Structure 1
Amino acid sequence: MTDLDQRITSTLRERAEGQVDIDRLTSRAVAQGRARRVRRRATLGGTAFGVAAVLGLGVAGGGALPVEVPWTAAKPAAPVAAPAPAAGVPNALARPDLVGTDPSLLHFGVDPARARYLSWQSALDLESAQLDLGGAAPVRFNLARSAEVAEELDAEGAAHIPEPATPPFDGQVVRVPRGGADSDWILRWQPAPGLFARLHTVAPNGGALQAARNALRFDAAYRCGGPLRLSALPEGARITNCGVWVERFPAGFNVSLVVIGSGDKLLKVDLQYAKSIVGARTDGNRMIGDRPAFVAEGGLNEMELLGFPKAHLTAIFGWPTVGGSTEADAATVLGGAQVAEHLDQPETW
């Protein structure tokens, strides 16, 4: 993973819900990239990255696993959004070496009778999700091919390490006191040799962690992009990050895909759907094939492909600090975008 990939991945991971903030993405992942790259090479060398700032705490103590009522067996009445199966793709147990190698895929799933997705993400090296187990606090899940990545990376690669510095992935629940009623609760284990899984929640007790572990499935693979696929990319470009946020579903959801080309040219594609959207732009100032598109003038360059009821499909391009993708790059990506016909019906994704 390059430094630029890593900073973008970190910024996207920090979002548990809603749309990724473009200003934050560009300022953290791009504008400071060159200086940080030099500094990190000088100071970090080949050392392993630290634990994520999500803990950022002092001493980790052992803790018994209190009993907590998990997600009820009855499925929610509202439609549930989840990744679509990826037929023919090996699962995590069969090919643990494939986890975190293709940002368009997830190598794990969730039993819908036991938990609900709030979001899911796939990036180079790490696959993850935010889960609702029916309690007040969500549970974060990470899956990676190394313990260091499973513990997460922050934007600087700096270490935020609770004791012990190298926690064992032994299936035990660890409590990290915060002060007050809530603590950090962490469960680490290895679903297969060469695979590292981590669950984390902030709550009065850690009962949701075992319920989340029981809800996870590693016997199938899934497509990350939900209702959006990109079938055409500029020459030399690749998708490095995929994230889908569905906490508000069926009222709405967001999909974000990051495309990086040669020379660190960066382009971000967003699909935003909301039932509350009334009306839509119909007058484009560009054409992509036989479809109208609109390019906003001035400021951050954004191209929208028109014609999606209650949804916006946009590509943001042209960050000059890294060479900048072009309007032609955005047209290529949007021209090959495939969007599900029924955005409010996950079974069609």
Structure 2
Amino acid sequence: MTDLDQRITDALRERAEGAVDTRRLTARAVAGGRARRRRRRMGAGVALGLTAVLGLGTLAGLPGSGRGTVLPGLPGAGPKQVAPGVVAAPPRVAGVAGAATRPDLVGTDPGLLHFGVDPVRARLLTWRTGRGVEGGRLELPGGRVVAVDLGTEVAAVEDSAHDGMAYPARPATAADFDGRVRQVPPGGPGGQPGWFLRWQPVPGLYARVHTVATDDADLREAVAALRLDEAHRCASPLRLTALPPAARLATCEVNVIGFPGSLDVRLTVSRSPDQQLEVRLEYRSGIAGSRTEGNRTINGRAAYLYPQGGELELLGLEKAHLVARFGWPYEGFTDDDAATVLGGAVVATDLTRPETWN
């Protein structure tokens, strides 16, 4: 088990042993919002600690390679099989073009993914779409994890961050999407180097895979597992049927790393880039109990508006929390807007059965 795997396992075990601390989750959401805003202000791909780790130089390539190593004939890895198990995956959608055919569609529809993975070679641990980018975390044989991002704009791809896989890297430009593997010196999770591969599968489509490992072999396997000629639905056990005036669903993100024992869904409602409301469904099989007394009602159901403001929870879900967050760093929505969204939220009757998801 890698250091990354162990940290993911420990985090899931910690969260599964009791009720979810929503205040701690709110703090994390605030911290995440701050980081996203910093990245937008500083430019695509700029990460914390950039100067200290990389100075002003370029990324190091593979040992002895100078500028990096080209992956000849992408994809390049031989097939390896993923161990069978309980799997939740976004279902394929017939009649919808994939990213290779219609790169202009990538990240434009929060209900669709314009890529997939070969289920024999890999499986998606997370998937997300919206705001001009699509991607997720892939699990390869042996539990190794690689992050993938696709988009038509370099900035959208480079600004995409994955929980637990942040790594300092210099800002990339379109010229960096040249099919070369680049190494970031050790200094990240577990003291292992980071590996980045950027390329253009077709003109107008930018793709990036990255991981933390001892070598770049996982990148090759991840690229070989990608399928850009198909589309999938952003399957989720949570659906929003009511939105505030002028608002729209902007993003869909699903995390099944601990499935079926745990599950996370994050949907973002937006009026503009600066006006956002996040709806999050968190399921943990180990949750022993949850709040039952609310301080307001939504369509006859108990709800709880947290005293610090900016967070409204719809109560009554078994082993799960359904929360709308509209306070700082989010802006532009009120508790009444949050009540409207939660009032129209539809949650699958059995969160552990993906066939019942929307």
Structure 1 residue 143: Cα displacement: 0.3
Check the 8 A contact 1:84/1:347 in 2, yes or no.
no
Task: Describe the shift of the 1:328–1:184 C-alpha distance in structure 2 as closer, same or farther (beyond 3 A).
Answer: same
Check the 8 A contact 2:82/2:119 in 1, yes or no.
no
Q: Pick the aligned partner of 1:22 from 26, 49, 64.
A: 26
In the other structure, the counterpart of 1:122 is 129
Q: Pick the aligned partner of 1:328 from 330, 336, 354.
A: 336
Amino acid at match of 1:312: H
Does 2:100 correspond to 1:90? no
Q: Pick the aligned partner of 1:242 from 252, 258, 267.
A: 252
Distance in 2 between residues matched to 1:233 and 1:111, nearest whole Å: 36
Does 2:355 correspond to 1:344? no
Task: Describe the shift of the 1:214–1:263 C-alpha distance in structure 2 as closer, same or farther (beyond 3 A).
Answer: closer
In the other structure, the counterpart of 1:298 is 307
Structure 1 residue 216: Cα displacement: 1.2
Question: Over the residues paired in the alignment, what is the CA RMSD in angstroms?
Answer: 3.8
Structure 1 window deviating more from structure 2 (339-348 vs 268-277): it is 339-348
In the other structure, the counterpart of 1:145 is 152
In the other structure, the counterpart of 2:140 is 133
Q: Pick the aligned partner of 1:311 from 281, 299, 320.
A: 320
Structure 1 residue 236: Cα displacement: 1.0
Give secondary structure in 2 for the equivalent of 1:138: strand
Amino acid at match of 2:351: L
Check the 8 A contact 1:263/1:322 in 2, yes or no.
no
In the other structure, the counterpart of 2:19 is none
Distance in 1 between residues matched to 2:260 and 2:176, nearest whole Å: 39
Name the % identity. 47
In the other structure, the counterpart of 1:60 is 60
Check the 8 A contact 1:245/1:255 in 2, yes or no.
yes
Structure 1 residue 181: Cα displacement: 7.5
Q: Pick the aligned partner of 1:232 from 214, 217, 242.
A: 242
Task: Describe the shift of the 1:26–1:174 C-alpha distance in structure 2 as closer, same or farther (beyond 3 A).
Answer: closer
Distance in 2 between residues matched to 1:258 and 1:146, nearest whole Å: 20
Does 2:311 correspond to 1:288? no
Check the 8 A contact 1:263/1:323 in 2, yes or no.
no
Structure 1 residue 205: Cα displacement: 1.0
Structure 1 residue 257: Cα displacement: 1.6
Amino acid at match of 1:348: T
Check the 8 A contact 1:257/1:269 in 2, yes or no.
yes
Distance in 1 between residues matched to 2:48 and 2:232, nearest whole Å: 27
Distance in 2 between residues matched to 1:117 and 1:129, nearest whole Å: 7
Task: Describe the shift of the 1:300–1:224 C-alpha distance in structure 2 as closer, same or farther (beyond 3 A).
Answer: farther
Distance in 2 between residues matched to 1:54 and 1:116, nearest whole Å: 30
After TM superposition, the structure 1 = structure 2 runs for residues 81-230 of structure 1, keeping only pairs within 5 Å, are 81-86=88-93, 88-135=95-142, 137-152=144-159, 161=170, 166-178=174-186, 182-224=192-234, 226-230=236-240
Give the length in aligned residue pairs: 315
Distance in 2 between residues matched to 1:207 and 1:72, nearest whole Å: 12
Distance in 2 between residues matched to 1:54 and 1:31, nearest whole Å: 9
Distance in 2 between residues matched to 1:71 and 1:228, nearest whole Å: 34
Task: Describe the shift of the 1:334–1:52 C-alpha distance in structure 2 as closer, same or farther (beyond 3 A).
Answer: same
Task: Describe the shift of the 1:316–1:64 C-alpha distance in structure 2 as closer, same or farther (beyond 3 A).
Answer: closer
Give secondary structure in 1 for the equivalent of 2:279: strand
Check the 8 A contact 1:75/1:112 in 2, yes or no.
no
Distance in 2 between residues matched to 1:140 and 1:69, nearest whole Å: 17
Task: Describe the shift of the 1:327–1:71 C-alpha distance in structure 2 as closer, same or farther (beyond 3 A).
Answer: farther
Structure 1 residue 294: Cα displacement: 1.5
Q: Pick the aligned partner of 2:287 from 262, 277, 285.
A: 277
Check the 8 A contact 1:244/1:255 in 2, yes or no.
yes
Task: Describe the shift of the 1:206–1:298 C-alpha distance in structure 2 as closer, same or farther (beyond 3 A).
Answer: same
Task: Describe the shift of the 1:202–1:344 C-alpha distance in structure 2 as closer, same or farther (beyond 3 A).
Answer: same
Check the 8 A contact 1:71/1:133 in 2, yes or no.
no
- TM-score when normalising by structure 2: 0.74
Give secondary structure in 2 for the equivalent of 1:208: helix
Distance in 1 between residues matched to 2:273 and 2:138, nearest whole Å: 36
In the other structure, the counterpart of 1:6 is none
Distance in 1 between residues matched to 2:121 and 2:35, nearest whole Å: 42
Check the 8 A contact 2:237/2:351 in 1, yes or no.
yes
In the other structure, the counterpart of 1:12 is none
Structure 1 residue 172: Cα displacement: 3.2
Give secondary structure in 1 for the equivalent of 2:104: helix
